[in-house]
Structure 1
Amino acid sequence: MFWALFVIFLAACFSAGSTGGLFAPGQWYRDLSKPSWTPPDWAFPVVWTMLYVCMATAGTRAAMAPDNSIALALWSLQIALNGLWTPVFFGLKKIKLGMIVLSALWASVAVTLLALYQVDFIAAALFVPYLVWVTIAGALNASVWQRNPEKA
């Protein structure tokens, strides 16, 4: 049962992540002014792959726990917002709207982490690196917005 659920949650994660292939950063993003601490391009697929495995494991553990309805509803919300950011930021090239989506994503990840904690400590712990990465992404999005007001 664990592995069947894990595959479903992992598919949800990679479905959200597939927007990165549909809306690649491209020249527009390369031309933006970015802070010196911007992670290198190769880091994004590596980090997201590890995060998606953690997120899928967390979702699976929560799905197998009792009293999981709020945690699973919030897990669903955060993965939907996760999949929305890339089309908004890279597809529509809307830096400010991307920041709004990313802020909602950050809040949903934080609340999901708290809800997961209520049903499974390990599931919550698996969401900590995700919250850290979304915090970094938010800081990067904010910096890009600040540095490129004419394109925001």
Structure 2
Amino acid sequence: MNTNLKNAASLFLWVAALLFTGFLIGQMTQPGITDWYQALNKSALTPPDYVFGLVWSILYAMIGYCGWAIWQTQQSTNTKLIFITQLLLNFIWSPLFFYFNQVLLSLIVILILICLVATLMRILSKNQLLLAILLTPYFLWLGFASYLNAFIWLYN
């Protein structure tokens, strides 16, 4: 198999793995979304439910590309560790919030997640500016999601 085909296949696997994991997490947390979450006092800025699935699908595809590129460009072990850690925190946020209803703990997790993504963006901006730019929508969405999380914590 030639190098271009291997790279395309590995990129596809990265993106597909993140999208599939996001889908599984969504399925696991769906009961909490349809029951518990609907009964909460939410910010007037809370988008309709379908927006979250659409936005996260796009973001997971971008995060998958960034993860693939980090491994392809032989980034440092520290950069890879930050990437994996932020990804794990991302994956545990939804179950914490929607399944276990741990609003404050999920707020703490998302604030740590924002710090990790900002650190990752800063590191990548030095030698992989495109990756840092691709992570910007993710960083901004996390900021918005933390506002929504904080609103729920304060008003419920």
Alignment of 1:40-119 (within 5 A): 40-119=48-127
In 2: Cα distance, 1:74 partner to 1:114 partner? 12
- Letter of the structure 1 residue corresponding to residue 61 of structure 2: V
In 2: Cα distance, 1:67 partner to 1:118 partner? 11
Cα RMSD, aligned residues only: 1.5
Question: Tell me, which stretches of 5 or more residues in structure 2 are unaligned?
Answer: 1-5
Give the 3 Å change call, closer, same or farther, for CA 67–87 of structure 1 in structure 2.
closer
Alignment of 1:16-35 (within 5 A): 16-17=21-22, 18-24=24-30, 25-35=33-43
Give the 3 Å change call, closer, same or farther, for CA 67–41 of structure 1 in structure 2.
closer
Identify the residue that residue 3 of structure 2 maps to in structure 1: none
In 1: Cα distance, 2:104 partner to 2:74 partner? 39
Identify the residue that residue 2 of structure 1 maps to in structure 2: 7
Question: Tell me, which stretches of 5 or more residues in structure 1 are unaligned?
Answer: none
Q: TM-score, normalised by structure 2?
A: 0.87
Q: TM-score, normalised by structure 1?
A: 0.89
In 1: Cα distance, 2:28 partner to 2:8 partner? 28
By how many angstroms is 1:16 displaced?
Answer: 4.0
In 1: Cα distance, 2:99 partner to 2:142 partner? 19
